[in-house]
Amino acid sequence: MKSIEWAINKMPKSADANLPVMAISEVEKAKAFHESFPQYSETPLANLTHMADYLGLGQIYVKDESYRFGLNAFKVLGGSYSMARYIASQTGKDVAELPYDVLTSEKLREEFGQCTFFTATDGNHGRGVAWAANKLGQKAVVFMPKGSTQTRLNNILKENATATIEEVNYDECVRMAADAASKVKNGVVVQDTAWDGYEEIPAWIMEGYGTMALEADKQLRGFGCDRPTHVFVQAGVGSLAGAVQGYFANRYPENPPIVVVVEADTAACLYKGAVAGDGKLRIVDGDMPTIMAGLACGEPNTISWDILKNHVDTFVAAPDWVAAKGMRMLSAPLKGDTQVVSGESGAAPFGTLACIMTMPEYKELKEHLGLNKDSKVLLFSTEGDTDPDRYKSIVWDGNEK
């Protein structure tokens, strides 16, 4: 059985020029936009008090994104907000002037017209983009990497999008989406990864993700928790991780929580960067076999990487069995705790936390992080059972794939 690997962040700090992307004022603007949707409701924060006691922690809080807009995943937060910001930029408006009822109005259609949003996805991001485009009267084209499941493809097609599963990995699909968009009138790439020359839309997507962090932060105070001591967050390209890290670094600048970033070990580009220690990007290419399809990304978001290398404490590369363990534990809670239906990518951070607290081979990491009875740990279950058959196979039948 493969082991969890980790790298404590010793990278040189940069000027931190990208931290303002996740300024609290920007996140509040994104949350106000999401609240304008008739489908909006705050997703629950599960307070797993009995699990915390069992693992030797003070508190465990899990943000359950399986309830987000009826889409079973958080990704729609970024796609929808970036679309609104793009339309605002093209019409000379502030996004605050474009709530849902304005974006869907005939008046805006006459003023803005219609464009086609292109993206690459393993499922959740593409479904969110397709859903938002469908609701806002726009078009969407989605490229999915090999290994994507038919269920996730069908969920995207149901939103009137054009979608295909390609015979290449995620990062190649990103390039395909960018190329296709360049050949279509009013074609726009909506991708939650950034590269040199493509950073504005990814920054908007990250701000959209901030809604989830802002909700969780306020919900914590409702439980009497003034701030989390630790945050465990998953990463593919790192956009979500950068958004969460950026939010909490801005929210608690004098006393930020200790942040642990968890990746799938076969696609651990951020972890590899931390191991190298020089602060430069590292890329993982080729096939990335993992049940954590949403984390199977090998090329980091440049904006997020800058935030992460300045603020994250530890980067973790987790094997599939860790995610599967997290899925099973969350699905079968201790009596009195709330069940969290968490998919493969959603459960990886919790599985990592459980291993650190219960397995002696990770004692050194546990001590480094200072995880103990006083710790208040926040995690994000970013997806539910987005592929129900695969979820049952892992949780009910004990399969990891």
Are residues 117 and 265 both part of a single domain? no
**Mind listing the pLDDT tens digit of every residue in the chain (401 residues)?**
899 999 999 999 999 999 999 999 999 999 999 999 999 999 999 999 999 999 999 999 999 999 999 999 999 999 999 999 999 999 999 999 999 999 999 999 999 989 999 999 887 889 999 999 999 999 999 999 998 889 999 999 999 999 999 999 988 999 999 999 999 989 999 998 888 899 999 999 999 999 999 999 999 999 999 999 999 999 999 999 999 999 999 999 999 999 999 999 999 999 999 999 999 999 998 888 999 988 988 889 999 999 999 999 999 999 999 999 999 999 999 999 999 999 999 999 999 999 999 999 999 999 999 999 999 999 999 999 999 999 999 999 999 86
Please tell me the predicted confidence (pLDDT) of residue 401.
60
Note whether residue 275 is domain-resident.
yes
- The answer on 241 and 369 residing in a single domain is yes
Known catalytic residues are 75, 122
Q: CA gyration radius for the chain? A: 20
DSSP-derived pairing of the beta strands 314-318 and 162-165: unpaired
Give exposure, 14-49, as e/b (b: 16+ Cβ within 10 Å).
eeeebbebbbeebbebbbebbeebeeeebbbbbbbb
User: Within a domain: residue 400?
Assistant: no
**Distance of alpha carbon 73 from alpha carbon 76, whole angstroms:** 7
Exposed / middle / buried, residue 278 (Cβ in 10 Å: 0-12, 13-18, 19+): exposed
Residue 149 confidence (pLDDT): 87
235 and 191 co-located in one domain:
no
> Which structural domain range is residue 207 located in?
5-74+201-395
CATH number of domain containing 227: 3.40.50.1100
Same domain, 219 and 313: yes
Q: What is the predicted pLDDT for the residue at 245?
A: 98
Q: Are residues 107 and 91 part of one domain?
A: yes
| 401, part of any domain | no
Angstrom CA distances, 131 to 18, 58, 210, stand at 29, 39, 19
Q: What total of structural domains would you count in the chain?
A: 2
Residues 321 and 271 grouped into a single domain: yes
If residue 54 lies in a helix (H) or strand (E), which one and from where to where?
A: helix 49-55
What is the model's pTM?
0.95
If asked whether residues 387 and 324 sit together in one domain, one would say yes
The β-bridge partners of 262 are 234, 316
